[in-house]
Chains A and B, each alone.
Chain A
Amino acid sequence: MENNDASNYKSLLRFTTAGSVDDGKSTLIGRLLYDSKSIFEDQMEHIVQSSKRLGKEDVDLSLLTDGLRAEREQGITIDVAYRYFATPSRKFIIADTPGHIQYTRNMVTGASTADLAVILIDARKGVLEQTIRHTYIATLLDIRHIIFCINKMDMVNYSEIDFIKIKNDLSDLSSRLGVEDVHYIPISAKYGDNVVEPSENMLWYTGMTFLRLIETIQIKKDKNSSDARFPVQTVIRPLSSEYHDYRSYAGRIAGGVFRKGDEIVVMPSMLRSRIKSIDVMDRSLDEASAGDSVSIQIEDQIDINRGDLIVKPESLATPGQDITTMLCWFNKKPLKKGVKYFLRNNTRETSCIVKSVNYRMNISTLEKETTDQPVSMNDIVNITLKTASPLSYDSYNKNNITGSIILIDEGTNETLAAGMIE
């Protein structure tokens, strides 16, 4: 394996795919798995049989990702599906998000754990409203790498002129939205051009194939490197004779680095102490950094509970109860001002009420609109809410973990909305 070089190299790449209905997302993933020999014989046999049963001429590779009965029957993808494959250089987790009824919900969900977004465009149609929407959501969720796949090139005679026109439109869109790293590939998912193998039909394209690009793309891991953040999940107290006085705080580091001996501040209580030990089972570490699940023992006996945030004195999180956030609303029931919702910010849970809807984002025109219309499913709005007890948070662009929230319905327990704190 060839992957121990740069520190920002990540051997696990999570990406999400977005596109309009019939843009060929499932076909692209099917093609990727098929041509990279990640489809097993029994899976292939299934797809061949199902394609026949559904009366299809060719083997329909999209059947590989459409896992639910209703999806296969209707030929659509309903829910986010996760797919896995690996090449010698990387392991990939794909969140395949359908562009259907609950498109915002699905794409936001897929994007929330992705390092990279793949957005499909139909070469015959070019940049559509949905393309703007998908690109906007990717940037809203702070995805810094986008690959635009201009698909169905076979249906425009593999025309370079068509490709360049779409590429220019996309380039305008990306710079308007401030995307850091953008790539464009002309492909035919159905016939495999530029997916795994270079296309013989588009010799004018000299860039990388899709697979080559996702294998080699450098993903910035610097998101949470500066400010140390440790949200406490649970307290570990063995109460056994062997570990009678042992007490540690378990969690996954959400940013920065913690070292043995570091001075820490517990938020919101603002009590101070020092790190006595950082444990992973019976091993004690000198330091641990973002992403590590550890448990931390501290010098002093102070009150620390689930939902508290351990930080360092030189970089405190923001304390507060009045929060302004971008919010994606997922539920059929519209958002109601003044109604109590549960709010989760990492491991902390409290109640909140929405005080004001500041503006609605028109995600087709990217205009901010003031409106008195109810906030309903698929809407993206900017709101101010008030929490019952204080949060210790960061802005989402500074830290995706301490800067994100969800709202939960107190009656039905459904997850209603996702928020990115400003």
Chain B
Amino acid sequence: MEINDEHLKELEDEAIFVMREVAAQFERKVILFSGGKDSIVLVHLAKKAFWPAKMPFSLLHIDTGHNFEETLIFRDELIRELRVELIVGLVQDSIDEGKVVEETGINASRNKAQSVTLLDIIDRMGIDVAVGGGRRDEEKARAKERFFSHRNEFGQWDPKNQRPELWNIFNGHKNFGEHFRVFPISNWTELDVWQYILRENIKLPGLYYTHRRKIFLRNGVYLAWAPFMQLKPSEKVFEADVRCRTIGDITCTGVTLSKAQSLEEIITEIAATRVTERGGRYDDKRSEAAMEDRKKEGYF
């Protein structure tokens, strides 16, 4: 497959510039690592930005406990290779400490609770910047996001009062207790990410490629089945060839029916698709402003 990579080079140059600005402007730096393709691309960019030095970031994984097993294996292998610190924030801890009340019912998800755990860790460890793989094309509230996004001492985002961001000058000034979220791949689209993964030959968890899995259909979204998930009487579990377009908490990550075995096939599939990748994200279906509300509370 031939990819015109002029635009990929420009996006990469921009992202590396942002990574280096983060290194220069902050003290305690983490990359939010979910095991998903966007965070894997971030890690690759960080590697490239500081080579041959070790990247000046720890990886922070907010673990809902509802993982795809493959993601954790992949994560641990990557850590061994990079020789960087891994910080794991367990949502279960936040629940046990009474900081968040677990949702109940059929649609129960720990997705929202992740924000509490994340902010808790940021506060406890004195983290002043968390680099994330958020992209503006993902969702309409994210389209308004800055590269350097300020969070107040409560970890909240104030979308109506964001700092203007001009040229390539990033203002990381903040008061004690505040932090920044930084999004180096803001300007990338889903297709750019996949083309870049192919161009750089980046290794991904097998979940992104076609595999046989038990799934069920809920509100038009195929969800991966796991033993702890409650089913409605009308919902039937069946096996199919699927792959993940995004990877998050297993309870809210939709899968797509696909037989794509290679990056080339995935790219062809995505170029032809008519649904956005978050169209399969159950967490966004909750309301029109679901993402905006979660982001204000401190979500990724």
Q: Is the CB of A12 within 8 A of B17?
A: no
Is B79 engaged at the interface, CB distance under 8 Å to the other chain?
no
Nearest-neighbour CB distance to chain B for A279, whole angstroms, equals: 7
Contact of A67 among B50, B273, B279, B292 (CB under 8 A): B292
A4–B279 Cα distance when bound, in Å, is 34
Is B211 engaged at the interface, CB distance under 8 Å to the other chain?
no
Bitwise, B245-259 to A at CB < 8 A (1) or not (0) is 000000000000000
With both beta carbons as reference points, the residue of chain B lying nearest to A414 in the complex is identified as: B163
Q: Is the CB of A11 within 8 A of B6?
A: yes
Contact of B140 among A10, A40, A67 (CB under 8 A): A67
Report the count of interface residues on A (CB-CB < 8 A): 73
With both beta carbons as reference points, the residue of chain A lying nearest to B141 in the complex is identified as: A67
Q: Is the CB of B52 within 8 A of A342?
A: no
Bitwise, A225-265 to B at CB < 8 A (1) or not (0) is 00000000110111110110010001110000000000000
Q: Is the CB of A82 within 8 A of B166?
A: no
Among A199-207, A317-325, A362-370, A401-409, the one that faces the other chain is A401-409
Q: A236-B53, A238-B54, A291-B13 are in contact. Are A112 and B141 (CB under 8 A)?
A: no
Q: Is the CB of B143 within 8 A of A72?
A: no
A56-105 interface (Cβ within 8 A of B): 64-70, 72, 78-84, 86, 91, 93, 105
Contact of A344 among B139, B144, B169 (CB under 8 A): B169
A106–B192 Cα distance when bound, in Å, is 27
Nearest-neighbour CB distance to chain B for A204, whole angstroms, equals: 36
Contacts of B273 in A (CB 8 A): 40
Contacts of B142 in A (CB 8 A): 67
Contact of B13 among A50, A292, A414 (CB under 8 A): A292
Q: How large is the interface on B (under 10, 10 to 19, 20 to 34, 35 or more residues)?
A: 35 or more
Q: Is the CB of B186 within 8 A of A404?
A: no
Contacts of A233 in B (CB 8 A): 17, 20-21, 23-24
Bitwise, B23-60 to A at CB < 8 A (1) or not (0) is 11000000000000000000000011111111000000
Contacts of A108 in B (CB 8 A): 164, 166
A-B contacts, CB under 8 A, total: 173
Is A280 engaged at the interface, CB distance under 8 Å to the other chain?
yes
A264-295 interface (Cβ within 8 A of B): 279-282, 291-293, 295
Is B230 engaged at the interface, CB distance under 8 Å to the other chain?
no
Q: Is the CB of B274 within 8 A of A41?
A: yes
Q: A43-B276, A413-B173 are in contact. Are A280 and B20 (CB under 8 A)?
A: no
Q: Is the CB of B160 within 8 A of A78?
A: yes
Is A418 engaged at the interface, CB distance under 8 Å to the other chain?
yes
With both beta carbons as reference points, the residue of chain A lying nearest to B188 in the complex is identified as: A84
Q: Is the CB of B23 within 8 A of A406?
A: no
With both beta carbons as reference points, the residue of chain A lying nearest to B187 in the complex is identified as: A93
Contact of A408 among B6, B171, B276 (CB under 8 A): B171
Q: Is the CB of A243 within 8 A of B52?
A: yes
Is B191 engaged at the interface, CB distance under 8 Å to the other chain?
yes
Q: Is the CB of B168 within 8 A of A109?
A: no
Is B137 engaged at the interface, CB distance under 8 Å to the other chain?
yes
Q: A43-B276, A281-B48 are in contact. Are A3 and B162 (CB under 8 A)?
A: no
Is A306 engaged at the interface, CB distance under 8 Å to the other chain?
yes
Q: Is the CB of B164 within 8 A of A46?
A: no
* Additional pairs, 5, CB under 8 Å, beyond known A82-B143, A233-B24, A293-B16: A42-B279, A81-B144, A233-B20, A250-B20, A406-B171
Instruction: Provide a sorted-by-A list of 15 A–B residue pairs whose CB atoms are within 8 angstroms.
Output: A12-B10, A40-B273, A42-B279, A43-B276, A43-B279, A50-B288, A66-B140, A67-B143, A69-B289, A86-B191, A233-B17, A238-B53, A344-B169, A413-B173, A415-B171
8 closest Cβ contacts across the A-B interface?
Answer: A67-B140, A42-B279, A413-B173, A293-B16, A238-B53, A112-B166, A12-B7, A293-B13
